[in-house]
């Protein structure tokens, strides 16, 4: 076994400059995941409202949205928005649309997250006791007021654990943005590996960074969940 081959250029790969480059990639991954979670939550609320709506058109549209994005790979969705949508846009309008890698990544991941969040939020809403709904109606609250002040706050308390899992998943899935040129955490490892002809050490380094990020988020979420349980 050639140990020297494994640790070839290790000192250069783990230089302060390269480590800073990796941390910058980690920051970009967190930004992509965080924005995607925020927009995904908004899409999830709208989708959940549509799925529990009495309006058949809204229910149908929400179901199509959820099935479409949950039933196709996220990588395919990213490639469609980056490569396919500009061509479709040009065919319809005649204008050239230049897709930006980071914008496309955030848009595609947000829509995908929204489809999964739709079911999480819907299940949280449906878990609320019917007495809460009846009491809200008795107080004369409108449907929007009831959802905003009574139902959604209680629903979100119940779906914190799965939403944290969704956030952790988004951090890892942000690596798919590398296929369209976004320099996030995984892409930073590939760039360093190509520079020094050694991919093992950069990949191990970003693996540790991924593990640290997700572990910290899981710890914060667990602490928050305990505090909310005490407040109840």
Domains recognised in the chain with CATH numbers: 3-231 (1.10.3720.10)
pLDDT for res 128: 81
CA distance 105 to 63: 23
pLDDT for res 21: 97
If 0-12 CB within 10 Å is exposed, 13-18 middle and 19+ buried, where does residue 24 land? middle
CA distance 178 to 63: 30
Quick: pLDDT tens for 15-29.
999 999 999 999 999
CA distance 95 to 104: 18
Q: Sorting pLDDT into bands at 50, 70 and 90, what band is 136?
A: confident
**What average pLDDT does range 215-231 have in this prediction?**
80
* Rounded alpha-carbon distances, angstroms, from residue 130 to 51, 157, 210: 17, 17, 41
User: Within 13 Å of residue 79, how many CA atoms lie on the same side as its CB?
Assistant: 7
The angle formed by the CA atoms of residues 87, 90 and 96, to the nearest 5 degrees, is: 100
Identify the H or E element spanning 3.
helix 3-6
The angle formed by the CA atoms of residues 165, 38 and 185, to the nearest 5 degrees, is: 65
pLDDT for res 231: 60
Top pLDDT among 158 and 46 is at 46
Token pair 């007021």 is at which residue? 145
Residue 170 pLDDT more than 80?
yes
Q: What distance lies between CA 56 and its chain's CA centroid? A: 29
CA distance 111 to 175: 16
Quick: pLDDT tens for 92-110.
998 988 889 999 999 999 9
The token pair that represents 52 in the structure block = 């529990």
Q: Sorting pLDDT into bands at 50, 70 and 90, what band is 118?
A: very high
Token pair 């007495």 is at which residue? 131
Judge whether 109 and 173 are in contact, CB under 8 Å.
Answer: yes
CA distance 128 to 158: 9
Judge whether 76 and 82 are in contact, CB under 8 Å.
Answer: no
């Amino acid at each position: 076994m050639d140990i020297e081959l494994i640790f070839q250029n290790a000192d250069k790969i783990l230089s302060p400059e390269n480590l800073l480059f990796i941390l910058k990639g980690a920051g970009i991954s967190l930004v992509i995941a965080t924005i995607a979670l925020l927009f995904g939550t908004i899409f999830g609320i709208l989708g959940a409202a549509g799925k529990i709506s009495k309006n058949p058109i809204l229910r149908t549209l929400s179901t199509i949205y959820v099935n479409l994005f949950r039933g196709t790979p996220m990588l395919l969705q990213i490639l469609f928005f980056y490569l396919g949508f500009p061509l479709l846009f040009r065919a319809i309008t005649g204008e050239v649309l230049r897709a930006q890698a980071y914008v496309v990544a955030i848009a595609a991941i947000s829509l995908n997250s929204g489809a999964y969040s739709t079911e999480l939020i819907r299940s949280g809403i449906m878990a609320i006791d019917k007495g809460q709904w009846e009491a809200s109606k008795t107080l004369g609250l409108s449907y929007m007021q009831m959802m905003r002040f009574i139902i959604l706050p209680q629903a979100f308390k119940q779906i914190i654990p799965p939403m944290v899992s969704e956030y952790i998943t988004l951090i890892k899935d942000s690596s798919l943005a590398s296929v369209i040129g976004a320099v996030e955490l995984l892409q930073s490892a590939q760039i360093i590996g190509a520079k020094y002809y050694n991919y093992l050490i950069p990949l191990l380094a970003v693996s540790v960074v991924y593990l640290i990020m997700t572990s910290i988020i899981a710890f914060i979420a667990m602490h928050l969940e305990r505090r909310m349980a005490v407040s109840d």
